Structure 1
Amino acid sequence: MGKRIGLIAGNGQFPIIFTKAARKEGYEVIAVAHIGETEPSLENYVNEIEWIRVGQLGRLIKFFKKKNIKELVFVGGIKKKKLFSNIFPDLKALTLLARLRHKHDDAALRAVADELEREGFIVCPSTLFVPSLLAEEGCLTNRKPTKEEKKDIEFGWQMAKAIGKLDIGQCVVVKRQVVVAVEAVEGTDETIKRGGRLAKEGAVVVKVSKPNQDLRFDVPAVGKGTIETMMHVKAKVLAIEAKRTLIFDKERMVSLANEADISIVSLKKS
């Protein structure tokens, strides 16, 4: 039997990108996908796939054991709003949830990862085969932030790290050193829309990893869609964290930002 890896697939394009990269490295990809979240086309790229509902942890474990999978990766997210509907926890998941003091992202994901490791699996970083997707440090666009926008970035960075420490979200929208929107369960795009409407125009979007971010899952991600959302509300700057943020469709994203006169800066701060 050749090299194999188990893929726990969430939403978005990342599961397909990951699968292509893994297979290029000679791995078979055995996937568990989530109904209503994972792109159905993932079936065309993986070697085997099992479809489950969000919350069926026991079934996920049973499937991977049956397939003799040892290494697992979490790739792609689950919409947080699903926590209030369309979740079908089995006995394994219910037992796990009952032990959690808080149901925050990191706490829940770490608990699932710990449970998988107790079952004998190794949980690998989601960037395992795609380190090139991590943002390099520097300004990625023709336009550089203005002096005033740099102040907003610095302020927003501190605020984003603070909400991240509380495990609330990864993104804030700022204008003139005032926080106009904070990410919660709605996700980054909805946060940008809300903040942009309040700021009118010229908002600065800051998206960072949480302090002590577990890079095995929930790595901050941006892409062409992020810039399209910013264009819709006339936001002017996107600041992300170098080496701790995934960029999808980088070439198209940067090209679109240049057309819209938007700055993208990737920063490394202590």
Structure 2
Amino acid sequence: MGRRAIIAGAGALPLLVAAAGPAMVVRFADAPGGTEGADLVARFERLGALFTDLKSHGVDELCLAGAMRRVGFDQARLDAETKALLPRLADAMGQGDDALLRSIVAIFEEQGFTIRGAHELRPDLVARAGNLCGQAIASADAARARAVLAAIGPLDVGQAAVAAKGQILGIETLQGTDALLRFVGDTMPASGGILVKRAKPGQDLRVDMPAIGPDTVALCAQAGLKGIELQAGHVLLLDADAVRAACLTHDINLWAVP
């Protein structure tokens, strides 16, 4: 039996996944979240060295967890394997996040690694259908946001939208959900709107499953929203107890639908 490694980005998810069982923690230099607590520090320009290091430690299973950002490559640091992969990665970087992540997953799989999703290792973090705190708010706003996300999903744009009084107040883009909520709070305060968070059609949930945490709830309250709707089975709750406590504190309703 081999060993598991977590390719860790920023946020709470890497630690939550680590609680699922023994794992080696890998962090990239210059990536968000820093390198504290890493068993192995890697560089994006030296993927060949990373493959070798992982295999030398008996790793055959990887979980990519936490927020990562797109980075450039220092040509002077490239090893031979990464240099050979660069045209493929550059092409993927010119597309959406899903395309880039699919390319990265394929590269690791070609090296013989099995990719496991955070939701597979911590199924208890997955939002289940029903009222998670408070009650579902039956409104056209949630339906409107769902419809917009369904329309733009094939374009690989975002996983969240905010609607109020029949209008879309904002759509998540590369900047993320937090930036979306700050924008809504700055431009349409006290809207009483709904944040809808859903996976994009065909999204590989092993490496990019939508997630919310207590900070998301606090930002919704600051933005003047009254509810959060999640896609059941497709969104992670980063510390479910803390998320529910935040909903109670800020009087935010939270529910999940198919």
Normalising by structure 2, we get a TM-score of: 0.88
- Given candidates 106, 109, 112, the residue that maps to 2:104 is 112
Contact map agreement 1:207 1:239 (CA 8 A) in 2: yes
Shift of 1:101: 7.9
Alpha-carbon separation, structure 1, partners of 2:44 and 2:177: 21
- Specify the alignment match of 1:46 in structure 2: none
- Given candidates 224, 228, 233, the residue that maps to 2:223 is 233
The alignment partner of 1:184 has SS state of coil
The alignment partner of 1:70 has SS state of strand
The alignment partner of 1:21 has SS state of coil
- Specify the alignment match of 1:10 in structure 2: 9
Counterpart check, 1:66 vs 2:56: yes
CA separation of 1:200/1:159 partners in 2, compared to 1, >3 Å: closer, same or farther?
same
Deviates more, 1:130-139 or 1:259-268: 259-268
Alignment of 1:39-118 (within 5 A): 40-43=35-38, 49-54=39-44, 56-79=46-69, 82-83=70-71, 88=74, 90=78, 91-100=83-92, 102-118=94-110
Counterpart check, 1:126 vs 2:118: yes
Deviates more, 1:117-126 or 1:104-113: 117-126
The alignment partner of 2:161 has SS state of strand
CA separation of 1:178/1:57 partners in 2, compared to 1, >3 Å: closer, same or farther?
farther
Alignment of 1:26-45 (within 5 A): 29-35=23-29, 36-38=31-33, 40-43=35-38
Shift of 1:32: 1.7
The alignment partner of 1:78 has SS state of coil
CA separation of 1:157/1:62 partners in 2, compared to 1, >3 Å: closer, same or farther?
same
Normalising by structure 1, we get a TM-score of: 0.85
Alignment of 1:242-257 (within 5 A): 242-257=232-247
- Percent of paired sites with the same residue: 26
Could you tell me which runs of 5 or more consecutive residues in structure 1 were left unpaired when the two chains were aligned: 24-28, 44-48
The alignment partner of 1:72 has SS state of strand
- Specify the alignment match of 2:151 in structure 1: 162
Alpha-carbon separation, structure 1, partners of 2:184 and 2:163: 8
Alpha-carbon separation, structure 1, partners of 2:176 and 2:152: 14
